[in-house]
A and B are shown apart, each in its own frame.
Chain A
Amino acid sequence: MRLTVNGQAQEAAARPGQCLRTLLRELGWFGVKKGCDAGDCGACTVHLDGEPVHSCLLPAFRAQGRAVTTIEGLAGPCPPGGGPPTHVHPMQDAFLNAQGFQCGFCTPGMIMTAAVLDQGQRRDLGTALKGNLCRCTGYRAIRDAVAGAGDAEAPQTCHAPVGRDVRAPASLGVVSGTAPYTLDVAMPGVLHLKVLRSPHAHARIAAIDRAAALAVPGVVAVYTHADVPQRRFSTGRHENPADDAPDTLILDSIVRFVGQRVAAVLAESEAAAEAGVAALVVTYDVRPALLDPDAALRPDAPLVHDPADRASPPPGADAPPLSAHPNLAAEAHGAIGDVEAGFAQAHLVHEAEYVSQRVQHAHLETHGALGWRDAEGRLVVRSSTQVPFLTRDALCALFDLDRAGVRVLCGRVGGGFGGKQEMLTEDLVALAVLRTGRPVRWELTRQEQFTATTTRHPMRVRVKMGAKADGTLTAIQLTVLSDTGAYANHAGGVLHHGCNECIAAYTCPNKRVDGVSVYTNTLPAGAFRGYGLSQTIFAVESALDELARGLGFDPFAMRRRNAVRPGDPMVATSLEPHDVQYGSYGLDQCLDLAQAALAEDSGAPPPGPDWRVGEGMAMAMIDTIPPRGHFAHAHLRLDAEGYALAIGTAEFGNGTSTVHTQIAAQALSTTPDRIRLIQADTDAVAHDTGAYGSTGTVVAGQANFRAATALAQALTQAAAKRMEVDPEACRLSGDVVETPAGPVPLSTLAPLEARAEADGSPRSVAFNVQAFRVAVHPRTGEVRILASIQAVDAGVVINPMQCRGQVEGGVAQALGAALYEDYRFDGAGGVVTQTFRNYHIPACADVPDTRVLFADTYDRVGPLGAKSMSESPYNPVAPALANAIRDATGARLTATPFAPDRIYRQVMAAVAERERSAT
């Protein structure tokens, strides 16, 4: 058929069941994104004869003879595969100015939708944009863009850029749809991989008959557990691989959750791979499944990892560690003082169990990888990952390859939130490339994303806290049950981190933690924004609110009385020395800022006269870097083309690319546009632990700052030497070194380079204080947010506009978990919520503007005074909301999400009780 795309007449053969999105991508229009593949997220929005449509829902053959406009052609006709355009559409320009994106994966669809809105629709964006989901921004920046607000600075004009609202370096590529994400590359001859997934929560695979699958035309290979290295690893990636129990095989003869890989089919097309998967005949010996974490440690519980299934370790190898129960994945125990004595001293004790549910990261770019052999024969994997270096190392270990023989790199990554601190696709892609020698591509579907990747750890946290009549805490006790699912990726890390800063934030002589993380036959939990803290902070901050209420303190005063101050030891349950310092301290400012903002801003009015209005707050502390080493290398080089900065850390919407250009430009007295960034590629630098634990600015930025400072020094010294003047009298200025004897052009000093490292120690602490005013309907259980404020201590804020976006995005994602999101399972361990229409992440209408306030601090640990600010805005949101609902209605909610159907009874009962006691 013939169609016109972006002014180009194109010939295409539409397959009968093909959707337009796939056809357009096959024609090279990679700006059309595949986000949900089900019409829910809008990332694939294009114009069909001027009318906006979700191209994943449109049969491709219906485009015959029609004119299609994609994001690439919004500003005018263009050929496929071109770079960023020379001029942009006004809506693209608006998104540039407002920086209405973070990872940018939703942006093409968002702009294509926004570009056709009429005046009326623009006035009600909650309705107009209900078919466009963004997981990163929290929508404020998008609303600003549509309204034409926002004045981000162009990097070319931004001298001394630290502290300025510089545009992200990829801005033009993102808004024009030309920034290539992981799978936005054409790869001739590529094979497609699909996997068969387990229908059972627990089974042994008795047999796999692959004959019918191999007979499907186009199928090239079928891999089963018989074809993979018998080497166990963890999908969870850490600097030290021993942090995560090696309990996973690429393909296992035992399946431990509904959705686990059973076999992989490799074929010439996705359709053939799908048909091959459907043709596999598998016989299972079904085993009893453990679905309830409460039952995991009972003597008669089904064993998720039965020691009897493991071959005994070969002579000389480590035996698996002995543990109290094979279903125990990790535990954390510790105490200081004597909590019982503390409770005995208390005037008031609050004890309750707080339950945090399983939630999905829901980054709009699903997991995916593309592998091939390069000209030198190396295995290359282009992956949607936060940890390219650790993935490279894991592939080397799995397949017995030298580091020199493997390269892992990222394109632009469409969101992560911790979900991509895992190796979930690269192992199978690598196996297939190594076996066939051909390029291999594997893109997870949204359904697989929900059923077979990772989630936040569901946790039950029993908290007991006591305080004296003057508000002083006397004892804190946490008893934690964390459900790690079928595999132990991040089980220990999340449990230990979750039980640390939430109580280290408070000075209290008596603390005790008893936590366990258990295996169940459900999909694995993994790293998720906050890394355990969102669940425990929900418990601790709710409990503190109850104590404050019971003792007659305002909740801000309660925190001021008990929170740590510089000089106080930061202690959870261990008195061992550690490397966390008060590099700066802005909690006091955050409390003051949030309280003042809440008092002065009454926010929106309640929706109706009978809605109950209340206020609440919560705080969160976080270490700025994960413990025990987090490494980054930076390599800055001045060559004929200018500065090139090579850095390992990945950009997945966290904004670190912008920050890196700002840091280097600041140190080199130039503008950020002069820094060419080479990033997230194992070829770029020696090592980088990865973009997790909120380290993109504080660790990689530190290495960058050191390299840039060293290069600046080398340049002034070289110029001084040439001009025979005192280096102290010379200074860098743009493209020259100014010397008393006249300027020396940098081009005459090239090439010159500097390398530096950072090891992630010592560490500092960052703070977040969230406050809400809410309205609650006393009979339906509906909750509306009237005002949202978050005060944050991020040290020196290198890019305020971006940092504000990180905070807003964290609040929005946390509101999703606090109000809507939940996994539902059928009785047999299968995930019911497999689409965005059944797993509701916040849409534009669901997220209010959050007023973001910055404390004024300078951190002596972080680069240029900066601290981390990417995970932590998520952490205080659920308890702040619960505390506001408590204030409004009297109901103490102890389980998220606070959805109307789950809370209305408790709200009605509490409101009735209040009315009774008022009369």
Chain B
Amino acid sequence: MDLNGVTSVITLGKADALPAWRTGDAWLAGGTWLFSEPQPGLRRLIDVAGLDWPAHALSEAGLTLAATCTIAQLDRLELPPTWIAAPLVGRCCRALLGSFKIWNRATVGGNLCMALPAGPMIALTAALDGVCTILAPGGPERRLAVADFVLGPQRTALRPGEILRSIALPAAALSRRTAFRRISLSPNGRSGALLIGTLDRSGAFDLTVTASTPRPVRIAFPAPPGAEALRGAIAAAIPEAGWYDDVHGAPDWRRHVTGLLAEEIRQELAR
């Protein structure tokens, strides 16, 4: 929609430094959220598309995604065969509420910065031990685990003026076995619960719960747990009041289906 309160746009070029931040500023990447809701406080857009950050970089250490990498670019990415977690990428892209047209514009970083409970890029990068790199105009960069970056619905660890630069996924995480489960109130609806389990070669089992909780919850087990232990660990990690409540699922149902999906993941990875 038209953001009629916006009075200026700064378009950054490749070599430009980040401008000094003012109240009423917003970083513009894909724009698919910014332009989807009234933004009454917004006065200036800082367009980062021209910074031209390479969408992704592969190395033996792992995969680094620029914050501006689009969902479509991520989905097209060919990963080395040893990174057996790769199928998660496509499943998380498909978990996005927006269609393939949105994929052409929406960015991985934007999905993290929106910090919606159902953000599938949050689920993907949290489950794969993602680490965010954060820039500030004129300041040093800092790093933060994805799990610590997303604080709650539409709340992140970004301070005013900071920008998410990239997300690094370590090769070790990409080499784990994974299992993915998702449920929503309608077949292609916004996720009510999105769970990812990973199993590494040492037998360590990690469960990442998203969408049913306000922010990602990671539960780690040194070895695959039994059904009872898994249930207990979820109950311990997520208090009664810790289940998310909005139109995309009542909290009691989210708790209930999280338990069902977690158990399916446990069984799948135990095979």
Contact = CB atoms under 8 A, between A and B. Distances in A.
A38 B37 contact: yes
A778 to B, nearest CB: 11
A42 interface: yes
B103 to A, nearest CB: 10
A16 B100 contact: no
Q: Which of B6, B11, B188, B247 has the most CB of A within 10 A?
A: B247
Contacts of A782: 183
A850 to B, nearest CB: 17
Interface of A: 15-19, 22, 37-40, 42, 45, 51-54, 56-59, 61-62, 113, 121, 126-132, 270-271, 274-275, 278, 445, 447, 779-782, 784, 819-820, 822, 824, 832-833, 835, 837-840, 842-843, 845-846, 899-902, 904-905
B116 to A, nearest CB: 10
Given A17-B42, A820-B185, 6 more contacts: A38-B36, A62-B47, A127-B100, A270-B2, A780-B257, A832-B247
B38 to A, nearest CB: 8
A905 B252 CA distance: 10
B192 interface: yes
A606 to B, nearest CB: 14
A127 B101 contact: no
A53 B72 CA distance: 12
Contacts of B47: 59, 62
A38 B185 CA distance: 21
Nearest to B97: A837
B35 A16 contact: no
A900 B97 contact: no
Interface residues of B, number: 50
28 contacts: A15-B4, A16-B3, A17-B2, A17-B3, A17-B42, A37-B1, A38-B36, A53-B101, A54-B102, A58-B35, A61-B9, A113-B99, A126-B188, A127-B100, A130-B188, A131-B99, A131-B100, A132-B99, A270-B4, A278-B40, A782-B183, A824-B247, A833-B247, A837-B97, A838-B246, A846-B187, A846-B188, A901-B249
Contacts of A18: 2-3
A224 B21 CA distance: 40
Given A780-B257, A837-B97, A51 B104 contact: yes
Contacts of B7: 16-17
B142 interface: no
Given A17-B42, A271-B4, A901 B250 contact: yes
A57 B37 contact: no
Contact of B250 (A22, A51, A56, A902): A902
A124 to B, nearest CB: 10
A62 B28 CA distance: 11
A121 B3 CA distance: 33
B215 interface: no
Closest 6 CB pairs of A and B: A131-B99, A17-B6, A17-B3, A901-B253, A271-B4, A901-B250
B160 interface: no
B101 A131 contact: yes
Contact of B8 (A16, A54, A833, A843): A16
A901 B248 CA distance: 9
Contact of B101 (A52, A842, A899): A52
Given A16-B9, A17-B2, A131-B99, A846 B186 contact: yes
Contact of A39 (B36, B38, B247, B253): B36
Contacts of B104: 51-53
A447 B36 CA distance: 11
A39 B6 contact: no
A39 B185 contact: no
A780 B49 CA distance: 42
Nearest to B250: A901
A36 to B, nearest CB: 9
Contact of B35 (A59, A130, A271, A824): A59
